[in-house]
Amino acid sequence: VLPHLRTYPSLKVWIAGCSTGEEVYSLAILFREEGLYDRTLFYATDINPDALRAAEAGVYALDRLRKFTENHQKSGGRSSLSDYYTADYGRAVCDRSLSARVVFSDHSLVTDAAFAEMQLISCRNVMIYFDAPTQRKVLERIHRVLKPGGMLFVGHAENFSESRDLFTLRGKTVYERR
């Protein structure tokens, strides 16, 4: 996915159903380490205002950082994860520069219109809560805002084989817009 994203002069990435923001910060770190951060605008949306406030704050319990660090190393992180947060009083606070290019916003995948043309949409472990007709409606909405050739990341438990007219499976959890 990264080589494909490098071909764009600017990028828009939507983290739909961002919950408390772990994926937002993970992608911001990945994009920074890959030299894509400065030309990317991230949209982090969720329907839950409490989760959205937590995502924007970027504060996590320090005991969770061990797993975050392992995941960062396993994914090929180029630096220490500790370069991206400050630890104190049993919590880790993400570096504010990571959210400088992030727009946090209330948004319902089911009822709200999409808002921009995206190269990448991450909608992981959200659609498992929807019935099949609602999933199809949301996938059609995502399809409309994802640029041709754009990528959709989904969770491991999500499978949209019935949407072959919209997306081509490119990996276990990666779909490309047709």
Q: What Å distances lie between residue 10 and 14, 118, 155, 178, CA to CA?
A: 14, 10, 26, 21
What's residue 159's pLDDT?
Answer: 80
pLDDT of residue 52: 98
Torsion of CA 155, 156, 158, 163, to 10 degrees: 90
Does the structure show a pLDDT above 80 at 45?
yes
Cα dihedral 28/29/32/36 (nearest 10): -50
- pLDDT tens digit sequence for 84-106: 999 999 999 999 999 999 999 99
Q: What is the pLDDT of residues 116-171, one digit of tens each?
A: 899 999 999 999 999 999 999 999 999 999 999 999 999 998 887 778 899 999 99
pLDDT of residue 115: 75
Long-range contacts of 124-133 (CB under 8 A, 24+ apart): 124/17, 124/23, 124/153, 124/154, 124/155, 124/158, 124/173, 125/17, 125/154, 125/155, 125/157, 125/158, 126/16, 126/17, 126/155, 127/154, 127/155, 127/158, 127/160, 128/155, 128/157, 128/158, 132/162
Q: Which helix (H) or strand (E) holds 12?
A: strand 11-16
Q: Looking at residue 128, what is its pLDDT?
A: 93
pLDDT of residue 85: 97
Spatial separation of the C-alpha atoms in residues 31 and 9, rounded to whole Å: 14
* pLDDT confidence tier of residue 114, bands split at 50, 70 and 90: confident
Q: Are 166 and 143 in contact (CB under 8 A)?
A: yes
Helical residues (DSSP H) of 36-177, grouped into ranges: 49-57, 65-74, 132-145
64-73: pLDDT as tens digits = 999 999 999 9
Closest Cα partner for 116 from 29, 36, 30, 45?
A: 45
- Token pair 């490098």 in the structure block, residue: 6
User: What percent of the chain has a predicted confidence (pLDDT) above 70?
Assistant: 100
If one counts every other C-beta atom within 10 angstroms of the C-beta of residue 20, the result is: 20
Q: What is the pLDDT of residue 120?
A: 98
pLDDT at 6 over 90: yes
Q: Would you say residue 13 has pLDDT above 90? A: yes
